[in-house]
């Protein structure tokens, strides 16, 4: 009898421990996920029963605010800028939950952040709900300029401060209006969602940080940096003059753009964007290439503060060189297994601009209380060390030569030294994508940029990165620099 009672007691104790553990997990570790789950009606009703903080641009334009509705859900979000900022701001939806910075900074906007509670302790004691406002680093002026520069062309523009990681503009075309998602009419919200999902242009896809593309020759920034970082290559390392490169393990070749013959020094090859040289570098690096890419974040997702987050870029698998050497040659020119977001390429340019250091990208600048007093500042944090300061200095010189005398002349700005790299990326779905990445001023970088125009935009099959993407990049950099 005592043995049976002991077994029952042990069983009951184990069940109690499991129950306490489950409750602790739900109430502590998983509390935020439960609070933001769109199926959690109690939390949803709580958040819709009171006003929510505003979201503003760096130049003081309102992107989101709460308005009274008079129905059971007392408040609804209003998005006065429509599709201009929807891929950053997102929306607050009773049907689908929160997306974008509306989700990332939900606790701050709803006034539940501890710093806001402490700052407004008097209001809390008086029964008044505190709220927090979110001020972004993005500029409405720059965002509109990016939209206008793309026009009807599908693509993305990312503009950032390479020293802090602050996103100054990030726009993709097409975009969508977030306002219908904020409706309290559930059927209307679901119908709008179905409409967007049925659109083949995917307007609800934030291409700048959620869609991956072959980067083409802009990836030569990473290839050249990786080569220089080994110490076995210098800008004066010579390569043969070729029209095509024989690929090992196959009868295929890698050809230069337009069938031209090129080669010579690494510096000259970079300026002229010579495929055969950089395909050979990819082969020479072999299995060293993948960890070098990893230092730029290739294979990882940048820690962007926009839910559901940035997509991870991709490259050849680690340790796969001996099994598939041609893919490393194609990786050297940004083709084959390489796939990146425009954000990733802006970060790669920023690495060169910031002495080899990549900062965490972020769109939030600070949190303010209901009286617009700053409560929290989103500071600069390092993410990756891509290269040494010495390699970054050499790469800056190489990138300046591209704009001054190579394929990136259309990115020149009078009186400003611009560093850049063009790309014309082959893909399986149509005409080549046009790319440009760069920064300025080269001697003291204040702005880094990545521009992608899908399938060459209006230029179609005749497009190059230097012709289509570089002028857009120059326009954005001129605006940031006041030129």
Active-site residue set: 217
CA distance linking residue 396 with residue 390, whole number of Å: 10
Q: Which of 228, 251, 178 is nearest to 388 (CA)?
A: 228
Q: Please tell me the distance from the alpha carbon of residue 31 to that of residue 362, in angstroms, as a whole number.
A: 24
Q: What angle do CA 329, 333, 334 make, to 5 degrees?
A: 110
The alpha helices in 92-171, defined as continuous H runs, are: 101-104, 106-109, 114-119, 121-125, 140-150
- Secondary structure class of 90 (helix, strand, coil): coil
- In this structure, what are the phi and psi dihedrals at residue 305, rounded to the nearest 5 degrees? -90, 45
Helices 342-353, 289-296: inter-axial angle, 10-degree rounding: 90
Q: Do 246 and 408 form a contact (C-beta atoms < 8 A)? A: no
Q: Whole-angstrom Cα distance, residue 167 to residue 88?
A: 10
Cα dihedral 390, 392, 398, 401 sign: negative
The widest CA-to-CA distance across the chain, in whole angstroms, is 95
Name the 3-class secondary structure at 200: coil
Quote the Cα angle for 148-454-214, to 5°. Answer: 135
Strands (E), 278-409: 357-359, 364-368, 374-377, 382-385
Q: Residues 94, 187: contact at Cβ < 8 Å?
A: no
107 Cβ contact partners less than 8 Å away, ≥ 6 residues apart? 32, 113
Rounded to 5°, angle at Cα 167 from 162 and 169: 120
**Nearest Cα residue to 435 out of 312, 285, 273:** 273
427 - beta bridge partners?
Answer: 430
Q: Examine residue 308 and say whether the peptide bond preceding it is cis (omega within 30 degrees of 0).
A: yes
């Amino acid at each position: 009898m005592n043995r049976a009672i002991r077994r029952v007691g042990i069983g009951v104790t184990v069940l109690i421990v499991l129950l306490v553990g489950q409750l602790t997990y739900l109430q502590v570790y998983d509390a935020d996920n439960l609070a933001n789950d769109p199926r959690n009606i109690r939390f949803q009703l709580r958040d819709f029963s009171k006003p929510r903080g505003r979201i503003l641009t760096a130049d003081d334009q309102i992107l989101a605010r709460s308005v009274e509705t008079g129905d059971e859900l007392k408040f609804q979000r209003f998005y006065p800028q429509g599709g201009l900022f929807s891929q950053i701001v997102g929306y607050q939806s009773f049907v689908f939950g929160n997306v974008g910075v509306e989700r990332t900074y939900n606790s701050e906007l709803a006034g539940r952040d501890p710093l806001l509670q402490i700052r407004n302790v008097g209001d809390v004691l008086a029964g008044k709900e505190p709220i927090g406002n979110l001020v972004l680093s993005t500029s409405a002026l720059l965002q509109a300029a990016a939209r206008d520069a793309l026009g009807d062309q599908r693509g993305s523009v990312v503009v950032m401060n390479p020293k802090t990681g602050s996103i100054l503009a990030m726009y993709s075309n097409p975009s969508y209006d977030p306002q219908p998602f904020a409706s309290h009419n559930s059927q209307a919200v679901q119908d709008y969602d179905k409409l967007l999902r049925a659109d083949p242009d995917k307007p609800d896809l934030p291409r700048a940080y959620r869609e991956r593309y072959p980067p083409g020759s802009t990836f030569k920034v990473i290839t050249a940096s990786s080569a220089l970082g080994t110490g076995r290559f210098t800008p004066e390392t010579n390569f043969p003059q070729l029209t095509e490169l024989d690929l090992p393990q196959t009868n295929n070749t890698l050809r230069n753009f337009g069938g031209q013959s090129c080669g010579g020094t690494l510096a000259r090859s970079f300026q002229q964007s010579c495929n055969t040289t950089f395909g050979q570098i990819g082969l020479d690096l072999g299995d060293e290439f993948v960890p070098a890419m990893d230092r730029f974040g290739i294979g990882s997702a940048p820690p962007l503060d926009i839910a559901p987050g940035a997509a991870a870029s991709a490259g050849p698998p680690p340790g796969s060189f001996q099994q598939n050497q041609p893919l490393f040659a194609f990786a050297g020119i940004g083709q084959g297994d390489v796939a990146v977001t425009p954000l990733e390429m802006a970060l790669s340019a920023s690495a060169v601009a910031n002495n080899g250091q990549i900062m965490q990208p972020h769109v939030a600048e600070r949190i303010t209380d209901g009286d617009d007093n700053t409560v929290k500042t989103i500071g600069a944090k390092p993410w990756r060390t891509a290269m040494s300061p010495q390699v970054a200095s050499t790469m800056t010189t190489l990138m300046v030569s591209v704009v001054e005398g190579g394929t990136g002349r259309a990115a020149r700005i009078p009186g400003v030294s611009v560093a850049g790299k063009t790309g014309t990326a082959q893909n399986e779905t149509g005409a080549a994508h046009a790319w440009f990445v760069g920064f300025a001023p080269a001697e003291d970088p204040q702005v880094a940029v990545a521009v992608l125009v899908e399938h060459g935009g209006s230029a179609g099959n005749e497009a190059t990165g230097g012709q289509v993407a570089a002028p857009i990049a120059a326009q954005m950099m001129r605006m940031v620099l006041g030129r």
